[in-house]
A and B are shown apart, each in its own frame.
Chain A
């Protein structure tokens, strides 16, 4: 089927058409033509004023509860929410029940091809994500695992991490680890600082992130493996990543969207929507994270999407689960954090695909269509009628946002959202 996107702003710094307002013709999952004016009688014409087209966003490390926790998020609800957030590719955590720690579970994820968004399974690094024995990573890789990680559970044992980094060398696999040592403060609830002291909540020190990050950098140097540092939250970590990159280590880093927007101050009212890991830290940390993202020390932004059921969120802060539903509003939040429309495709589309080794999604003729269409200045609100995640616990819920995702295209999958 032919579709013609009429007079769209091509917003893709990697494209020769970047910054131009052009007609874009889609044919059978491909970008068939890009020109100032195309007249194709057979094509369905889509014309929305002020519409931008960029490469579809790509997330690394969103959580879905299928199998085991479908009441929190299933494939369908995740894909619907992600599509409305502008995502076309998502690498998902292995923390389901059972855990994605063998080729059977990897294939189960790959069976979900009917969705508008492509889900890429991240295989568990250790059996059951228990941090003890490494998994059959060769097998999982052949079945389609895109990277290896224990996801929500950082690998605590240095020897296990060492062997995992070594084990993936033959196929140059990517290891993803969230640097966090919970043994520092086992009952930590929020960032350790003045606010945690005032609220009587156990604080999670920055040190619990930096210590594990340093360990992982040492292991990376020793093994020459590849590591994505997932979810950097503190200024102190940035310097270590900068040095490791300067040294030539194959290291990348991501920052969760909430840490770019919010700080420990937002927890002052015991609002459980802000109870997340990594914790929201100080305003200084937030400023450093934004700067590191601009200068490339941090490579990309992740949703850190972790929907939680209401009965584990609408309760006393100390008993509530960590996590928030975020994937539908990452683009708008990045705009709130001061990132330009032109810069965002780099942070949400190109760099995540590079890190994962996915083919680039560039807006050029003859390329496979992998697109997000959006009107960046339209007011839009995440509310009961627009939210598609099973969780309502988003910091942006009921907030008026600027920018509306209108549709996504991924090959032959076409999803127009309203």
Chain B
């Protein structure tokens, strides 16, 4: 693995967003993740690849799945890991963020995985500190590893992204997953449509080369893959729709809608699921759902990203 990868490396020393990656970067990450997926399914799941690397996971916003996934990926690669969590309210000031990180870095940390409520917080760090930065979600901006694992999971099931139709449903306005997904899927040749209430779709989203629809039924008919997003109530400081009840009725994905389709489609969700709001349990748990594959692939993708960025350092 080390020999193979030594010949290729990412075009960037940080993973700040999908917008900073080339298509070749994405292919390299997928290729690497494929190898790691084999490794984590072996009886001996660890590799010594990052044995001399110390990684700080800085989570300034609550997270379960992403944090655990990163931590597992780091441990599978034999990195030394330190975890830091803080509620967003305590880090309202940039000096605090910079101070916190500088304190941690003075302990000779090589990489920082950061989740933060402010768009651009990882970019801010990248300007100020020396370590490799991995964006694990910055506010309503990007969540690049989620987009990578989503695209990887689709490709695993459909063989390719080229020409495939992916519909993203729900709260597009507040979703970093949507933005990163759009950028990643477009780079890989897929067609993308967003669907949700007009108040939750950014006005200029079509500039990203996506279609916009307010019709869930028609969008389900159109797509090969439905990626259903969570309603981000914690980011909605004003009312964008009147009630969850009405939202689930008009914009939720339920079994009857899928039964109307003339072909099976893949169902995805980045989690955590609000069962009965954006998606019903019978859809989330159906045979077409690849939600748990996404989780498994998440570890492999994050191992690949960590590994490739660390290689970047060595060269």
Contacts and interface: CB of A to CB of B under 8 A. Distances in A.
State yes or no: do A and B come from one complex.
yes
Interface of A: 186-187, 192-194, 196-203, 205, 269-270, 311, 314-320
Interface stretch (B27-35, B204-212, B266-274): B204-212
A308 to B, nearest CB: 12
A201 B173 CA distance: 9
A318 B119 contact: yes
B208 A198 contact: yes
A196 B204 contact: yes
B237 interface: yes
21 contacts: A193-B207, A194-B204, A197-B179, A197-B202, A197-B205, A197-B207, A199-B120, A201-B119, A269-B123, A311-B93, A311-B94, A314-B98, A315-B94, A315-B97, A316-B97, A316-B121, A318-B119, A319-B92, A319-B94, A319-B118, A320-B94
Interface string B224-245: 0000000000000110000000
Contacts, number: 80
B141 interface: yes
Interface string B178-197: 01000000000000000000
Contact of A270 (B124, B202, B237): B124
A231 to B, nearest CB: 23
B141 A314 contact: no
Contacts of B123: 269-270
A187 B140 CA distance: 12
Contacts of B98: 314-315
B276 interface: no
Contacts of B205: 197
B251 to A, nearest CB: 20
Contacts of B208: 194, 197-198
A179 B311 CA distance: 52
A200 B93 contact: no
Contacts of A318: 117-120, 139
Interface centre among A197, A270, A315, A316 (most CB of B within 10 A): A316
B263 to A, nearest CB: 31
Contacts of A200: 119, 138-142, 176, 179
Nearest to B174: A200
Contacts of A317: 118-120, 124
B94 A201 contact: no
Given A200-B139, A315-B93, A317-B118, 15 more contacts: A192-B203, A194-B208, A197-B207, A198-B19, A200-B141, A203-B202, A269-B123, A314-B94, A314-B98, A316-B116, A316-B124, A317-B120, A318-B117, A318-B118, A320-B94
